Amino acid sequence: MLLSLNIAQLLLYIGGLSLAGQGLLYVIAGQGRDTNLFYQLIGMVNKPWTVIARFVSPKQIVDSQIPFVAFCIVGVLYMAVTIAKIEHCLTIGIEACQ
């Protein structure tokens, strides 16, 4: 159980950081971001999260806002997995979680 929580937490952490990195490049690169190699690479890493966000969000959400929605979803899921991990560690004992 602890291993699966750690894996889920790691995947969400990578997703959150890559979404934050893409947002930072969105601001830095400006209009040339579509031709930026790193922006495209991070976009491929974020593709699963943006697909999930597009599926979950209503149609009124504009496509340019989907990465922000994905970041919010990843953040909420990361907090939920962290809370589940804390609860699991409290039930089995702190010594067993290390």
User: Domain residue spans in the chain?
Assistant: 2-97
Q: What is the structure's pLDDT at 50? A: 95
Question: What integer pLDDT is reported at residue 35 of this predicted model?
Answer: 87
pLDDT in tens, the chain (98 residues): 889 999 999 999 999 999 999 999 989 888 888 888 898 999 999 999 999 999 999 999 999 899 999 999 999 999 999 999 999 999 998 888 87
d(CA 16, CA 18): 5
Closest CA relative to residue 26, chosen from 18, 11, 48, 62: 18
Model pLDDT, residue 22: 92
Distance CA 58, CA 78 (A): 22
Per-residue pLDDT at 76: 97
